[in-house]
């Protein structure tokens, strides 16, 4: 049975199983509009204004999907308006801000029709449980770091039970995790006659997650669209890699406090 080419959101809309990741790419390679589309999330106090700016930058009337990218609100200071830091190197975070307030505003822009679906990114189960207490619109997606070294099985189980689709960023492990050189992954690739990257991309689609491999070149984008069915044996190996001692998270901004992930507590340096 061939892997799906798309998944259904809880809004009823379809989303491609393989998307395009642009995180850490040269802004000139992906366009200034994408850069501006992300910048609003720093402050979170006025979602409607942020969305209006995004729509203007992208020259469109609506977004298919609008996300809160971290469950934190940053406080601008003399170091930066976008990514302010404290003297100790941690991000300047407003710890009194309740993300339920941000989500209420997200629900308003969803009802306005300017965002066809809304979701979150980098949200753990405890943070989602808090949001659930007041949400009237369930997040359509939760975009998080996912790969065999950081599969987040418990988070996926929770999101599946609430009809929230997981999106995988850093599916190849980025530059901080040697997934492409891992012997187990290489063995699966050789057995199936595919590249290690295709194994990692296919792994996410086979487990029911949208996958966002990063690429800014036409050839790589085309290669990343290849998805194959993996055997139950291969999936079992990939599912168990983190528990065997290979657990590694590559995206750890220095927020300075616990975000509720079991493998990542307190301030973690970049």
Per the annotation, where are the binding residues? 69
CATH 3.40.10.10 assigned to 6-246: no
Per the annotation, where are the binding residues for substrate? 69
Alpha carbon separation from 144 to 62, 85, 173 (Å, rounded)? 24, 23, 12
Q: What's the pLDDT tens digit per position in 241-261?
A: 999 999 999 988 878 778 899
What's the pLDDT score for residue 176?
Answer: 63
With cut-offs at 50, 70 and 90, classify the pLDDT of residue 38: very low
CA nearest to 141, candidates 34, 3, 9: 9
Q: What's the pLDDT tens digit per position in 213-229?
A: 876 666 667 777 889 99
Alpha carbon separation from 49 to 109, 147, 254 (Å, rounded)? 10, 34, 27
Q: What's the pLDDT tens digit per position in 90-145?
A: 777 777 788 999 999 999 999 999 999 999 999 999 999 999 999 999 999 999 99
Angle between helix 232-239 and helix 196-206 axes, rounded to 10 deg = 90
Domain residue ranges in the chain = 6-246
With cut-offs at 50, 70 and 90, classify the pLDDT of residue 35: very low
């Amino acid at each position: 049975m061939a892997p799906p080419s798309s998944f259904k959101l809880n809004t009823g809309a379809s989303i491609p199983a393989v998307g395009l990741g642009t995180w850490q790419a040269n802004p000139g390679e992906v366009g200034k509009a994408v850069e501006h589309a992300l910048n609003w999330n720093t402050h979170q106090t006025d979602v409607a204004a942020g969305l209006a700016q995004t729509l203007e930058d992208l020259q469109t009337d609506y977004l298919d999907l609008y996300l809160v990218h971290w469950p934190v609100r940053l406080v601008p200071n003399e170091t930066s308006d976008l990514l302010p830091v404290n003297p100790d190197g941690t991000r300047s975070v407003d710890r009194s801000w309740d993300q339920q307030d941000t989500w209420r505003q997200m629900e308003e822009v969803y009802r306005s029709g300017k965002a066809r679906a809304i979701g979150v990114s980098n949200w753990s189960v405890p943070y989602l449980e808090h949001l659930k207490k007041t949400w009237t619109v369930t997040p359509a997606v939760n975009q998080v770091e996912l790969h065999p070294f950081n599969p987040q099985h418990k988070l996926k189980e929770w999101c599946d039970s609430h009809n929230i689709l997981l999106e995988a960023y850093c599916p190849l492990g980025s530059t901080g995790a040697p997934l492409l050189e891992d012997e187990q992954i290489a063995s699966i690739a050789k057995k199936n006659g595919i590249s290690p990257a295709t194994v990692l991309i296919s792994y996410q689609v086979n487990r029911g997650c949208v996958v966002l491999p990063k690429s800014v070149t036409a050839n790589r984008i085309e290669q990343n669209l290849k998805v194959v069915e993996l055997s139950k044996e291969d999936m079992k190996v990939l599912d168990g890699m983190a528990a065997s001692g290979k657990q590694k998270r590559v995206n750890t901004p220095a927020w300075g406090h616990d975000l509720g992930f079991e493998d990542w507590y307190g301030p973690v340096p970049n």
